[in-house]
Amino acid sequence: MYDQLFSRALEELRESGQYRTFTNINRIAGRYPTARTDHSSNKEVVVWCSNDYLGMSSHPDVMAAMTTAVTEYGVGSGGSRNISGNCELHRKLEAAIADWHGKEAALTFPTGYGSNDATLQCLLRFLPDVVVFSDEMNHASIINGIRATSAEKHVFRHNDVDHLRSLLAQYPLERPKLVVFESIYSMDGDVAPIAEISGVAKEHNALTFLDEVHAVGMYGPRGAGIAAKLGISDRIDIIQATLAKGIGVIGGYIAASSLLVDTVRSFAPGFIFTTAQVPGVVAASLASVEHLKHCNVERRALQEKTATLRAALDAAGVPIMPESTTHVLPVHVGDSTLCRRAAAHLLEHYGVYLQPINYPSVARGTERFRVNATPNHTDEQIEHLATALKETFTKFGLPLRVQVSA
């Protein structure tokens, strides 16, 4: 009976074109974004969809920090932070993150998904009679953290400040409220109106929770994200982000007031009962954060390469979705089966790795490739990608953007 249930569900997924498979991407240290799909083969591919936005996973200082920590502490942490997994490196990393965001304190988690899920569950269970307001495009980790509680919840239309205002206005000022949104939305590459959302939230006495996972490292004078770029980090109560994207390692964190951070540390089961980040990961994350706080080289190069990539795709007629204003360039396909077939063709014939983005990551009918350059991509690789996408779209009958003659 159970096997039949599993088989039926998986078959329905295959028939809908939404079944997911893994592709081996064996990254080559020091040569990112180059990788091999098979260790036994010399065939190399170029990765165009990694979250390692700045290439920090291969930065010499970051790798050296991890190697040194492994030699000094070993590879494991030994337990949860409360039992035997805490070390001086954790304190240093959290202090560096708090300083980065101009907050009193920070708390790190093994993953970015976990930092969202655990923090939201904790706060929504801790705050009496709380109401939560969540942007409709928020990440699955946010949605899961909210759904796991019995808190009253509302979903406001994406980036719609007026809709949020109308929902908040239904409740008295004294009732606890939490507004949860992201700075950069990774599927469309658009940016939230952070100042407006935080302003409306404060008018209605609501806490603000801002997910900056696709912004930290890449934006702001020290790479602390979009809120920092706008100079309004102080208007955000809780900043959540990851150590796995711009930072290039693994983990997540929140930064907020000392009192709020201590509350999450003391009451969140998702923090209390999980094994601590291993010392090598913490040391590498610390090295990456400190580098990005003091160096603009990677950020500047990312913006330059993004501009070059955007221009090359535009010249080739490859349809970048119009919402994108950031380093994330979503290319619309609109069909799950063709998205998978096109991805396989790009990998086999052009050595281009792009992962098809299908439901449930995006709505059915909006399937896409999520393309991003890094400081390590060359201009030649960018031109090769533009040509490969144009020819692949033509082969599979996918619409290119109509070229308008002068």
**What is the residue-wise DSSP string for 172-189?**
-TTS-EEEEEESEETTTT
Contact 354, 348 (CB under 8 A): no
Active-site residue, selected from the candidate residues 103, 229, 245, 305: 245
Bridge partner residues of 60 (DSSP): none
Which H or E element spans position 227? helix 226-230
Whether residue 103 lies in the annotated active site: no
Neighbouring C-alpha atoms within 13 Å toward the C-beta of 275: 8
Give the torsion through C-alpha atoms of 65, 219, 231, 134, to 10 deg: -100
Residues 6+ positions from 99 with CB-CB distance below 8 Å:
293
Q: Between the CA of residue 139 and those of 128, 185, 236, what are the distances in Å?
A: 25, 8, 18
| Terminal-residue alpha carbon distance, the chain | 65
Exposed, middle or buried, 69 (CB in 10 Å: 0-12/13-18/19+)? buried
Exposed, middle or buried, 199 (CB in 10 Å: 0-12/13-18/19+)? middle
Q: What is the DSSP secondary structure assignment for residue 153, as one 8-state letter?
A: E
Contact 247, 217 (CB under 8 A): yes
Which sequence positions are flagged as catalytic?
245
